[in-house]
Structure 1
Amino acid sequence: MNWLRSFLPEQVPTTYAERLRASVGAFLGIAVTGILSTAWYGHSSAAPLLIAPMGASAVLLFGVPASLLAQPWSILGGNLVAALVGVTAAREIGSPLAAAAAAVAGAFAVMSLLRCIHPPSGAVALTAVLGGTHVTAAGYSFVLLPVLVNSAVLVVAALAYNNLTRRSYPHRPHAPIHPHPPISRLRLTSEDIEDALTDYGEALDISRDDLHKLFHELLGRAQRRAIAELFEP
């Protein structure tokens, strides 16, 4: 049973209000993207108004806007790179299966180099290869319409909605709502954080600055609890 439980992720510490906020944002983001894309296309049925990976992008941009994978450059750069790599693979590799695998792998490699990793971009690369005759016939125009248009509109919607609902986007590290600064100072350098993350051996979806802020907040809470326990009867 313990082995089976390891398949379940930890419960995200968030409120029902935050979940509702994110859901409304995803609804508005996809709706606005679809409406503006439709206006751009002029109701042409030959091209998709929305590509499916935008749904996954909306979950990241509105559900976890602090994620490194959800930042504006991540979606814009990631989707643009993935579309370019996917179209190239579809044109140059004869086997659809080999082209699909090469598109996803190539897109991830370039995104890593350009610091714009965005998981839904893998689906963009795959769509460029396996999206159907209307996608393959579009060639490199698929990169602009609908990929770049969809991505840009969704980012603008996320910028507006997240900031209107008091969520930092693009994300910037900030103090908690009820901060507990450490009572005694403890110097933690960026090199300490970098070394610890390197030793950890796995990629974590959190910035160094956020880790630094959270560490000092946890240290402050622990120090205050320790002092309170000293004076307990």
Structure 2
Amino acid sequence: MEQTTTDLSSANPPVAFGTRLARYLARFWPAPLPVDGRERLRACMGVFVGIAMTGLLSRWWAGVNHVGPWLVAPLGASAVLVFAVPASPLAQPWSVFGGNTLSALVGATVAMFVPDPAWAGAIAVGAAIGVMFAMRCLHPPGGASALLVALSAQSFSFAVFPILVNSILLIVAGLVYNTLTGRAYPHSPSMPASREKGAVTRFSAADLDAALAHYNQVLDVSRDDLEALLHHAEANAYQRNFGQLRCRDVMTPDPVSVQFGTSLADAWALMREHKIKALPITDRERRLVGIVTMADFMRNADLRSHEGIGRRLMNLVRKKGGTHSNMPEVVGQIMTREVRVASEDRHVAELVPLFSHGGHHHIPVIDKENRLRGIITQTDLVRSLHQAI
């Protein structure tokens, strides 16, 4: 048996070192921030207002008799969180207050027992993170507060002033400024619109919790905000994939149809041949005048008794030989005249209530002159929904 081999080196040529290096370095380039210039200006002005207010009031509070700093550097990092990302769990009031203050207390405690600044700083920051995790106040500037206090061997009073006082003043500034500029602070997660309306979504809260547990990392976004974001993205994708579909995109074009005078026998044979349950009825110009369905045949076969239903149905569709008959003979005599139709340009999403609650199974599609162009069935609708999700 002859074997063939493939030259993998020619199928996948080696990538030049310069290209590999460029791709590696590109990973360090940050992605653009999805905020406009107005939001950036709002954040910059907020940091300016917050630091200025905190600094001026802290200096006034300290007075001339206070020896030592009255404004600490970690507060600059706290201000970035409070004013630039006020929705972040790391920027909430308890995170700012507890993160900075508790970390400062940890730093002062470590400095008392570890004289070497290098070891004291490392132990203080690590322990401060542990405390912040335990107290649910994880705040990145808290690590800087712990390091500052440990390196300078400050006492516990330093955690009260300036750190605690600075933090409280910054929080107050954040409450006022963010509220005035349209940003909720403290941030309250919003409920996704799709969930408020009771719409079925592709994932549940339990699915999200399982995904977060698998990810097992701290995210700079609350769980509820993440869920809301995913639901909004899902709704936008649904709107893009399904909401913009029109009837012409999903209909069955040029459906099998009959005219008013088509015999019941011929119409029944067409329905069985093409395995369909409805036949649009048109005039000679192909304008829609009605529709005949399986239900119309059954109704005229007298369904008051189940006995002999097959025989009665055959009697209905059998061609009559006489010139006069009390039984209907053509589809025009049993058709439904009031037909729910849809135009070619109509959005498919608008037809969902007709199929789900209106009891419709077939909706003819017409053009501007009422000519039959196609038909949409439940199968067509389900297929388009499946493609959208």
Q: Does the TM-score normalized on the shorter chain lie above 0.5?
A: yes
For CA contacts below 8 A with separation 6 or more, give which structure has more relative contact order: 1
* Structure 2 residue 240 is matched with structure 1 residue 225: yes
Counterpart AA for 1:103: A
Q: Quick one: structure 1 residues 44 and 23, their matched pair in 2 at CA, closer, same or farther if it must change by over 3 Å?
A: farther
CA–CA distance in 1 between the matches of 2:185 and 2:23? 38
For 1:215, the equivalent position in structure 2 comes to 230
Structure having the higher strand fraction is 2
SS at the partner of 2:67?
A: coil
Count of aligned residue pairs for this structure pair? 226
Question: Pick from 108, 117, 125: which aligns with 2:138?
Answer: 117
For 1:90, the equivalent position in structure 2 comes to 111
Segments of 5+ residues of structure 2 without an aligned counterpart are: 1-21, 250-389
Question: Pick from 192, 195, 201: which aligns with 2:210?
Answer: 195
Counterpart AA for 1:151: S
Q: Once the 2 structures are TM-superposed, how far is the Cα of residue 173 of structure 1 from its aligned partner?
A: 1.5
Q: Once the 2 structures are TM-superposed, how far is the Cα of residue 175 of structure 1 from its aligned partner?
A: 6.0
For 1:4, the equivalent position in structure 2 comes to 25
CA–CA distance in 2 between the matches of 1:152 and 1:55? 14
CA RMSD of aligned residues (A): 2.0
Q: Once the 2 structures are TM-superposed, how far is the Cα of residue 228 of structure 1 from its aligned partner?
A: 4.1
Q: Once the 2 structures are TM-superposed, how far is the Cα of residue 214 of structure 1 from its aligned partner?
A: 1.2
The 5 Å alignment of 1:47-62 reads 47-62=68-83
For 2:319, the equivalent position in structure 1 comes to none
- Whether contact under 8 Å (2:120, 2:151) holds in the other structure is no
Q: Once the 2 structures are TM-superposed, how far is the Cα of residue 188 of structure 1 from its aligned partner?
A: 3.9
CA–CA distance in 2 between the matches of 1:62 and 1:53? 15
Q: Once the 2 structures are TM-superposed, how far is the Cα of residue 180 of structure 1 from its aligned partner?
A: 7.1
- Whether contact under 8 Å (1:86, 1:107) holds in the other structure is yes
Question: Pick from 71, 79, 89: which aligns with 1:68?
Answer: 89
Q: Deviations over 1:103-122 (max 9, x none)?
A: 10110011011110100111
Structure 1: 4+ residue segments shifted above 4 A? 179-184
- 99-108 vs 40-49, which deviates more? 40-49
* Structure 2 residue 190 is matched with structure 1 residue 174: yes
Question: Pick from 155, 158, 173: which aligns with 1:142?
Answer: 158
- 62-71 vs 1-10, which deviates more? 1-10
Counterpart AA for 2:110: A
Q: Once the 2 structures are TM-superposed, how far is the Cα of residue 43 of structure 1 from its aligned partner?
A: 3.4
Counterpart AA for 2:221: I
For 2:386, the equivalent position in structure 1 comes to none
CA–CA distance in 1 between the matches of 2:65 and 2:28? 44
Structure having the higher helix fraction is 1
CA–CA distance in 2 between the matches of 1:217 and 1:61? 25
Q: Once the 2 structures are TM-superposed, how far is the Cα of residue 44 of structure 1 from its aligned partner?
A: 4.3
Q: Once the 2 structures are TM-superposed, how far is the Cα of residue 202 of structure 1 from its aligned partner?
A: 2.7
CA–CA distance in 1 between the matches of 2:231 and 2:46? 31
Counterpart AA for 1:144: V
For 1:77, the equivalent position in structure 2 comes to 98
Q: Quick one: structure 1 residues 191 and 227, their matched pair in 2 at CA, closer, same or farther if it must change by over 3 Å?
A: closer
SS at the partner of 1:8?
A: coil
Q: Once the 2 structures are TM-superposed, how far is the Cα of residue 61 of structure 1 from its aligned partner?
A: 0.5
- Whether contact under 8 Å (1:190, 1:208) holds in the other structure is no
Q: Percent same amino acid at aligned positions?
A: 47
Question: Pick from 153, 157, 162: which aligns with 2:173?
Answer: 157
For 2:123, the equivalent position in structure 1 comes to 102
Q: Deviations over 1:16-43 (max 9, x none)?
A: 0000000000000000000110111003
CA–CA distance in 2 between the matches of 1:28 and 1:46? 25
- Whether contact under 8 Å (1:80, 1:143) holds in the other structure is yes
